[in-house]
């Protein structure tokens, strides 16, 4: 066989637990969230970046070819790469000053009302050249990978003008090409009403619908559209208009719903049949019931509750018990959730939301992958899927949620390629 036709093979052997998440080809609900498909003393064979077989380490060792690279997992846990289904990873500057103010007692809402908050990051992002913004945000790609995340959903939303939103989406596209991290882009022009439109908000909604959405769709820069639906941000009527227009442009729909108040976001998500409804800190039993009926996946973001100093976590237990296909994500952003760490989210999910470690793992792998329309490719370790996997520094997967504040991964592979820290 000539060398260019030869396939590249990789065998992972000697895993204490190969956490496969193998199961039905759909998001997991109810008790299924606790079924991780663990193979004790497991192994995996990868050819050209795709998983060819999973089994016991002994079975995999019989498959070795002459040039197979053998990765000894040394009795550690191996999981699919985490899929972070809600992030805002492209922004200029930081908000450390506001963070300090909040540490002295100011609230997130007070800071936003005096022109800080999202608007201050919009100002910083607009003022940053595309090249520089790309370089600044490479740092965050590195952080995600280091903590074991191999795919993120990435929202725009700190530009809020046609040119600046397109700039952010181009940065996302470029980071996806130039780093090992996989990005799934979402257009969030409806993140906030920018300062220059405050007194004529309907014109900003028209700008989104008539100019931004068509340009984003035409340039194929986003797969999803999201709206921050909240009494003081975009009303349910405005969100309905924007999301309906996005659907006409062929985009999938997501929505920030009921984060700061019970504002009808869950009902709107159900009415529109969005793929996800995110946050849901204030969603009540009626909201949970309509989301179930419409098959909307909740994306829960305990990092933002924690970082805002609140104790109002979403009702994860009730959602799981109602049969919803729960997803957990970081909400990585410079204001309300400055963490790229899925292990931190797993810790919060178990300690604050009473999700078991197994439910947490399902919510950040296979369920998250389905919420991004990637369930057939990533989110589990099964033959035919992409070899995105992580060897963690523990021999029991529950340690990921239990030991918090540390980086667990020893090695991170994306499409069969080893990530090395920048």
User: What residues line the site for Fe ion (CB under 5 A)?
Assistant: 331
Place of tokens 């998001």: 27
Q: Residue 276, SS3?
A: strand
Instruction: Say if residues 333 and 278 touch (Cβ distance below 8 Å).
Output: no
Among 117, 189, 287, 379, binds ligand NIG (CB under 6 A): 117
Of 55, 32, 31, 33, residue with least CA distance to 42 = 55
**Shortest Å, Cβ 333 to Fe ion:** 6
Task: Print the binding letters for residues 70-99 with ligand NIG: x by CB under 6 A, - otherwise.
Answer: ------------------x-----------
Q: Which stretch binds ligand NIG (CB under 6 A): 7-15, 53-61, 327-335, 392-400?
A: 327-335
Q: In whole angstroms, how close is the CB of 120 to ligand NIG at the nearest point?
A: 9
How many residues would you count in the chain?
A: 422
259 belongs to the binding site for ligand NIG (CB under 6 A): yes
Nearer to ligand NIG among residue 296 and residue 386 (C-beta): 296
When CB distances are held under 5 to 8 angstroms depending on the partner's kind, the choice from ligand NIG, Fe ion, none that residue 335 binds is ligand NIG
Q: Is 238 in the site for ligand NIG (CB under 6 A)?
A: no
- Residues within window 336-365 making contact with ligand NIG, judged by CB under 6 A: 336-337
Cβ nearer to ligand NIG, comparing 121 with 365: 121
How far is 87 from 256, CA to CA, in rounded Å? 12
Q: How many residues bind ligand NIG (CB under 6 A)?
A: 14
Closest listed residue to residue 149, CA positions, set 169, 179, 122: 179
Residue 230 C-beta: closest distance to Fe ion, Å: 11
Q: To the nearest 10°, the Cα dihedral for 399, 405, 409, 415?
A: 110
Do the beta carbons of residue 400 and residue 70 sit within 8 Å? no
- Residue 122's SS3 state is helix
**Shorter beta-carbon distance to ligand NIG: residue 334 or 360:** 334
CA angle 303, 127, 252 (to 5 degrees): 50
The C-alpha angle 302, 303, 308, rounded to 5 degrees, equals 100
Q: Which residues contact 123 (CB under 8 A, 6 or more apart)?
A: none
Is 121 among the residues that bind ligand NIG (CB under 6 A)?
yes
Say how many Å lie between the first and final Cα of the chain, rounded.
36
Residues 6+ apart with CB under 8 A from 196: none
- Dist. CA 11–CA 31, nearest whole Å: 32
Stretch that binds ligand NIG, among 58-66, 237-245, 331-339, 388-396 (CB under 6 A): 331-339
Residue nearest to Fe ion (CB): 331
Query: With binding defined as CB under 6 A, does residue 333 bind ligand NIG?
Result: yes
Instruction: Answer yes or no whether residue 304 interacts with ligand NIG by CB under 6 A.
Output: yes
Distances in Å between the Cα of 155 and the Cα atoms of 93, 170, 191, 390 are 17, 11, 10, 25
Q: Which stretch binds ligand NIG (CB under 6 A): 113-121, 146-154, 365-373, 396-404?
A: 113-121
- Decide whether 179 or 337 has the Cβ nearer to ligand NIG: 337
Based on CB atoms, which residue is closest to ligand NIG, 70 or 124?
A: 124
12 or 316: whose CB is closer to Fe ion?
Answer: 316
User: Which H or E run includes 308?
Assistant: none
Verify binding: residue 335, ligand NIG, rule CB under 6 A. yes
Residues that bind ligand NIG (CB under 6 A): 88, 117-118, 121, 228, 256, 259, 304, 331, 333-337
């Amino acid at each position: 066989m000539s060398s260019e036709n030869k396939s590249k093979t990789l065998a992972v052997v000697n895993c204490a637990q190969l956490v496969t998440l193998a199961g039905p080809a759909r998001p997991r609900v109810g008790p299924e969230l606790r079924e991780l498909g663990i193979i004790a003393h497991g192994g995996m064979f990868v050819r050209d970046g795709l998983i060819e077989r999973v089994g016991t380490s002994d079975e995999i060792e019989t498959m070795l070819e002459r040039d197979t690279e053998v990765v000894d997992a040394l009795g550690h846990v191996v999981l699919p790469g985490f899929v972070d289904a809600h992030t805002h990873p492209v922004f200029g500057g930081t908000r450390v000053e506001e963070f300090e103010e909040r540490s002295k007692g100011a609230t997130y809402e007070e800071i936003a009302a005096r022109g800080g908050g999202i608007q201050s990051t919009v100002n910083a992002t607009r003022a940053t050249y595309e090249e520089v913004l790309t370089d600044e945000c490479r740092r965050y790609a590195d952080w995600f990978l280091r903590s074991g995340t191999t795919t993120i959903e990435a929202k725009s939303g700190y530009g809020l003008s046609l040119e600046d939103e397109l700039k952010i989406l181009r940065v996302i596209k470029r980071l996806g090409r130039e780093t090992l991290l996989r990005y799934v882009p979402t257009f969030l022009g409806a993140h906030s009403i920018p300062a220059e439109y405050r007194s004529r908000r309907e014109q900003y909604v028209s700008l989104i619908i008539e100019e931004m959405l068509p340009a984003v769709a035409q340039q194929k820069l986003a797969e999803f559209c999201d709206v921050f639906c909240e009494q003081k941000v975009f009303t349910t009527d405005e969100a309905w208009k924007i999301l309906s227009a996005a659907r006409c442009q062929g985009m999938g729909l997501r929505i920030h719903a009921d984060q700061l108040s019970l504002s009808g976001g869950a009902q709107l998500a159900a009415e529109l049949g969005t793929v996800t409804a995110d946050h849901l800190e204030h969603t009540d039993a009626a909201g949970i019931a309509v989301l179930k009926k419409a098959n909307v996946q909740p994306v829960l973001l305990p990092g933002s509750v924690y970082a805002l100093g609140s104790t109002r976590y979403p009702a994860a237990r009730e959602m799981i018990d109602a049969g919803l296909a729960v997803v957990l994500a970081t909400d990585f952003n410079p204001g309300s959730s400055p963490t790229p760490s899925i292990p931190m989210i797993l810790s919060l999910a178990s300690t604050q939301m009473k999700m078991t470690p197994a439910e947490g793992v399902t919510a950040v792998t296979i369920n998250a992958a389905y919420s991004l329309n990637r369930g057939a490719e990533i989110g589990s370790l099964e033959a035919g899927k992409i070899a995105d996997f992580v060897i963690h520094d523990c021999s029991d997967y529950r340690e990921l949620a239990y030991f918090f504040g540390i980086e667990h991964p020893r090695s991170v592979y994306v499409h069969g390629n080893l990530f090395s820290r920048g």
